[in-house]
Amino acid sequence: MNGIWADTVILIRRTVAGRDRYGNDTYTETRQTVTGCSWQAIDGAERHDQQRDQTVAYWDLYLPGLDTDVDAVDAFEHGPHRAEVHGPPQYHRSASGLLDHTAVRLREIKG
């Protein structure tokens, strides 16, 4: 694929495997390669305080068609970035009524 549909991402499917000693969910992960995608930067911010420095980046990921079912606990990797699904996927149809692509908002927190 050419142009904006040339990105390859790794879908990280996470399923709850149990709980840690603090009562938080723990996950098992499986990986699936998805080609013909478009990973686009949306926004980012930095936060500095006395305890730590933190960056937050938001991305939109466009997936071809309906080939990939995305869940709220899933994540994606693209290059050095690993971002979690942030909100429900959006399904966009073409003028003919056929599904054209799926958009997924992602959030990456570092620090």
pLDDT tens track for 94-107: 777 766 888 999 99
Question: What is the secondary structure of 37-52 as a DSSP string?
Answer: EEEEEEEEEEEE-SS-
Q: Say which CATH superfamily domain 3-110 falls into.
A: Protein of unknown function DUF3599 (2.40.10.370)
Question: What is the secondary structure of 4-19 as a DSSP string?
Answer: GG-EEEEEEEEEEEEE
Contact 98, 76 (CB under 8 A): no
This prediction's pTM: 0.82
SS3 20: coil
The mean-pLDDT minimum among 16-25, 30-39, 46-55 falls in 46-55
In this predicted model, what pLDDT tens digit does every residue of 38-96 receive, in sequence order? 999 999 888 777 777 889 999 999 998 765 689 889 999 999 999 999 999 888 877 77
